[in-house]
Structure 1
């Protein structure tokens, strides 16, 4: 199963490499936000720059997985290759695992510009231990957004998936507090953010890179979102399979 998963991941990565603009788009918005809002305004303050970088990394994790899996899966479903692969006896697990591995790889590649901007153009700083903790946290917070993307991709046709991903993209970022630092968002955002996947993810990232206290309520909400989105993703896959292969 592991070999099949890596084979599927390799296929996904090669397919994306043939259209590099797809990866460029995932990296562009967080990098542009860093250059437009973080570098000129809080770049010389180590604490704020570090927290803002963590927010932009969360932003990139959400956008990469939402579009990579949401739009990507819906596009794949429209191709004749997809029904053939799904009819093979290996089952769905290697394909899911391969897609997730490929998505995580592309996600870390898309994070490189944000990290480089933070390192060379701001005073953001982390210890080696914080860097490793942050890298692990990135994988953890990616899970609900991967599942969200898979749910969209398997539940909707390509045109609808693009629209839904775009509609979710900015509201989740704003209401999750990714556009501001810890405690700096408008009051209603501060109240709502811990209960959204973006808000819970940002709070985990802030705790990983600095002294932001762990918010157990936000962590519980993020776990709840992960379970719920996982159920929706499985339901969408089975629904699509029932419609197309029954």
Structure 2
């Protein structure tokens, strides 16, 4: 247990020293939230409803970015620098190393959720029942699994600069097409059809349903689960091929 706690602490320290995490996962979502709720009201409903809706959009946007970019780029950097090879010859068991990484990533997501929820309360006075806050937080944590799987897939790349470019492109495309930056209804019809099959839309829609007093749709759950299994299988297969080589 002591080894696991030490590994988790090390992972968290590394994350908070990473400017990608601070900017993309904390500062950028809050800036977008302020602009699109206080400067430009891009919603179709009441201001209070839009403020709550967009708060969930920016929280899912933040956690999605942390899972894809922070985890993926870090895995590439560690492998390219020989860190993963070095860890294999240390007394630290491999399962503690990876479990510590996953726990550290989950703690990052929890911090992002609390930070952006607090920003919503301070900027727009968003007020929701305690059970709704908790349900949204749990959904956002659980729904991040497909994006962690995308992060592990990006982590199989050989160069950190390539991984950075690809993760940025994937992250921004998922955010726009998934309706996180603006309501998906204002996009062209063909983009709406594509967006509703993406993990980002189904991730955000689960939180949007919760703040409307409803449970996430089964379609959202099944699509997210399908993407999680797909990307985990792909990343596992690629890693095994790389180890053989």
TM-score in terms of structure 1 length:
0.87
- Report SS of the residue matched to 1:178: coil
Q: Corresponding residue for 1:27?
A: 26
Q: Tell me, which stretches of 5 or more residues in structure 1 are unaligned?
A: none
Q: CA RMSD in A?
A: 2.4
Selected match of 2:146 from 144, 147, 172: 144
* Contact 2:113–2:137 (8 Å) recurs in 1: no
- State how far apart, in whole Å, the 2-side matches of 1:40 and 1:84 are: 50
- State how far apart, in whole Å, the 2-side matches of 1:144 and 1:4 are: 28
After superposing the two structures, state which structure 1 stretch, 215-224 or 177-186, moved more: 177-186
User: How far does residue 70 in structure 1 lie from its aligned partner after superposition?
Assistant: 0.8
Q: Corresponding residue for 2:12?
A: 13
- State how far apart, in whole Å, the 1-side matches of 2:238 and 2:110 are: 27
Q: Corresponding residue for 2:169?
A: 167
Q: Deviations over 1:70-104 (max 9, x none)?
A: 11111111223321113457654322221111112
* Contact 2:175–2:200 (8 Å) recurs in 1: yes
CA gap of 1:123–1:77, structure 2 versus 1, over 3 A, is same
TM-score in terms of structure 2 length:
0.87
- State how far apart, in whole Å, the 2-side matches of 1:240 and 1:38 are: 46
* Contact 1:195–1:218 (8 Å) recurs in 2: no
* Contact 2:59–2:112 (8 Å) recurs in 1: no
- Report SS of the residue matched to 1:195: coil
1:28-43 aligned at under 5 Å gives the runs 28-42=27-41
User: How far does residue 31 in structure 1 lie from its aligned partner after superposition?
Assistant: 1.2
- State how far apart, in whole Å, the 2-side matches of 1:79 and 1:227 are: 29
* Contact 2:155–2:163 (8 Å) recurs in 1: yes
CA gap of 1:20–1:171, structure 2 versus 1, over 3 A, is closer
Q: Corresponding residue for 1:176?
A: 178
Q: Tell me, which stretches of 5 or more residues in structure 2 are unaligned?
A: none
Pairs aligned (count): 241
User: How far does residue 173 in structure 1 lie from its aligned partner after superposition?
Assistant: 0.5
CA gap of 1:50–1:198, structure 2 versus 1, over 3 A, is same
Q: Corresponding residue for 2:243?
A: 241
* Contact 1:49–1:124 (8 Å) recurs in 2: yes
Q: Deviations over 1:166-216 (max 9, x none)?
A: 111111111111122374544333322221110110111112222466433
